[in-house]
Amino acid sequence: MISIGIIGGSGYTAGELIRILMFHPNAKLDFVYSTTNAGKPLSIAHHDLLGDIEMNFTDTVNPNVDVVFLCLGHGKSISFLESNQFSAQTKIIDLGNDFRLIKDKDFNGKSFVYGLPELNKTDIKKAQYIANPGCFATAIQLALLPLASHGLLNDDVHINATTGSTGAGVGLAATSHFSWRNNNMSHYKAFNHQHLGEINQSVNQLQEDYSDELIFVPNRGDFTRGIFATLYTKTEESLEDLVAKYEAFYADQPFVTVTTTDINMKQVVQTNKCIISLMKKGNRILITSVIDNLVKGASGQAIQNMNLMFGLEETTGLHLKPSGF
């Protein structure tokens, strides 16, 4: 059994980790760390766990767990690791953005591998430290990487993506109030979202000469979870050839499905799946990518990485079905 610690245990991503890990056949939850809820039951913060798990939050860590998941706010993982030591054998999976970029991957003798399994599976299997990708970054990269792998990105890519309110985290903000968000929609961080760095980095990993622009407009949606991303760019490839390239690229990736039919978010919410739809009109390819921002975009992908790091089948504990209605 893999002994597991979770840091930052009261947030949405931690709650999803607990929900999935409770039924993972190779996982044993050792501690869930939260300074604000220490001594209180997990169900105080995660109401969906009431009756399912008898465990309290703690403000101490077991430094000898097999793996620790960092579910802290962006920029806080470094300070936590500076103040808390784990054993030389403990694997670390960071769900924040502290170590995602190549320039930030090395820290205090630790070298973090970017944890997108569909891109870096071989390195993930050998890694001790993982930087889990961002949610928008996951949906957008999975939409683009097959094109990059064939050198087919030769123009700007226009991206419009909408995320649910859980993407903003559990902390209260002006734009997360129900009265503001309900029956409402807005964009934010247009053209300069923080996930663009890791997206460009992965695209250039497969297509070094890509120098055009990823023009990204992120939106806040009037729903709790999921990402619906649409991308378009120019290409002279036929739809049939593009579909064949996408299917070949993802042939050994159990969580990615390629289709030419219309898709919707409910097909992936509560699962670790990504569904990609391809359509073409004239010389433009339209790519639609849908994921659950808390599962494939965060906690599910983190468990997928854990499975790979410990030599398990990567789908272990992640056979999750969406609810269509």
Q: Which residue, 96, 105, 140, is CA-closest to 123?
A: 105
DSSP string covering 243-293:
HHHHHHHTTT-TTEEEESS---GGGTTTSS-EEEEEEEETTEEEEEEEE-T
**Encoded tokens for 323:** 């609810």
Contacts of 51 (CB under 8 A, 6+ apart): 43
Query: In this structure, are residues 19 and 81 in contact, taking their beta carbons and an 8 Å threshold?
Result: no
Task: Please state, in angstroms and rounded to a whole number, the distance separating the CA atoms of residues 242 and 12.
Answer: 36
Task: Please state, in angstroms and rounded to a whole number, the distance separating the CA atoms of residues 114 and 230.
Answer: 24
Query: In this structure, are residues 311 and 297 in contact, taking their beta carbons and an 8 Å threshold?
Result: no
Give me the active site residues, please.
135
Task: Please state, in angstroms and rounded to a whole number, the distance separating the CA atoms of residues 6 and 53.
Answer: 15
- Strand 214-220 versus strand 106-107 pairing type: unpaired
**Encoded tokens for 63:** 């430094």
* Residue 8: Cβ-neighbour burial (10 angstroms; 0-12, 13-18, 19+): buried
Half-sphere exposure of 287 (CA within 13 A, CB side): 27
Query: In this structure, are residues 93 and 119 in contact, taking their beta carbons and an 8 Å threshold?
Result: no
Contacts of 38 (CB under 8 A, 6+ apart): 56, 57, 58, 59
Side chain identity at residue 250, one-letter code: Y
